[in-house]
Amino acid sequence: MSDSTIHQAAADGYKQGADTYVRGRPDYPAGVTAWLCETLGLGPGQTVLEVGAGTGKFTTRLLQTGARVIVVEPVQAMLDKLSGNYPEVETHLGTAQAIPLADASVDVVVCAQAFHWFATSAALTEMYRVLKPGGQLGLIWNLRDASVPWVAQLDALVNQWEGDAPRFYTGAWRKAFPHPGFGPLREQQLSHSHDGPVEDVIFNRVRSTSFISALAPAERDRLEQQLTAFVASHSVLNHGATVSVPYVTSAFVTRKEP
């Protein structure tokens, strides 16, 4: 597999930013466990494939269900982090368009914070292929809650650098549906927050964004200056104590029709 099979912002940004990704990305809300177990049906005796697993931020949630976990990840630096943290997980370097598993071999496929990178008919066809009849595809994203004014301002600051990088919020990923063999998408939303020092929940979170990590040094310096000024101008961020960033988790599921 070559980097030409994945978007350049992901190939470059995630190679350089694996450590920052670990520090800056928020966890998922407690309700995700119920979604995995009750909605997706995960538990002991089940096999789940996570596509685009990154450093394993969501993988730990899958392991907690008791299911057997397999991951496919296209960026070697990310996969190395995941393998070091979760040696019990079966790992494969690969892409959503060419999953190195047998037909009808998994009960569930999950894409956490990733599907917008490969929202194509080819990827869905591959996921359909490896799912057992009646198996489910789960898509989940952690998003800053842009209904909060200062969060919307932060998003606008970051989004100016996005270029042509695929993003969840544009909704372009939805064009991959409907897809032959899959039922309708069902959505569930959960609210939570990312709490911690401003260096992690603001600076490292922004730095962990693929297209930010892939910026040229001069552009990254300019962004850092903008972030510093932004934090200094908002009392919810500049008080020196724990910062709380509101998040919304959007979870979608569709079933492989038997």
Tokens 């993988």 map to which residue? 59
Which pLDDT belongs to residue 27? 87
Can you name the residues that pair with 193 across neighbouring β-strands? 246
Residues near 102 by beta carbon (within 8 Å), at least 6 away in sequence: 130
Closest CA to 212 of 27, 33, 9: 9
Q: How far is CA 34 from CA 14, 37, 38, 51, in A?
A: 30, 5, 5, 20
The pTM for the full model equals 0.88
Domains and CATH numbers, the chain: 3-146+166-195+246-255 (3.40.50.150)
**Exposed (0-12), middle (13-18) or buried (19+): which is 250, by Cβ within 10 Å?**
middle
Which pLDDT belongs to residue 10? 47
Q: In Å, how far from its chain's centre is CA 138? A: 12
Which pLDDT belongs to residue 9? 47
Closest CA to 247 of 145, 141, 112, 167: 145
Provide the residue-wise pLDDT of the chain in tens; the chain has 258 residues: 334 455 454 444 444 455 665 666 788 998 999 999 999 999 999 999 999 999 999 999 999 999 999 999 999 999 999 999 999 999 999 999 999 999 999 999 999 999 999 999 999 999 999 999 999 999 999 999 999 999 999 999 999 999 888 999 999 999 999 999 999 999 999 999 999 999 999 999 999 888 998 899 999 999 999 999 999 999 999 998 999 999 999 999 999 998
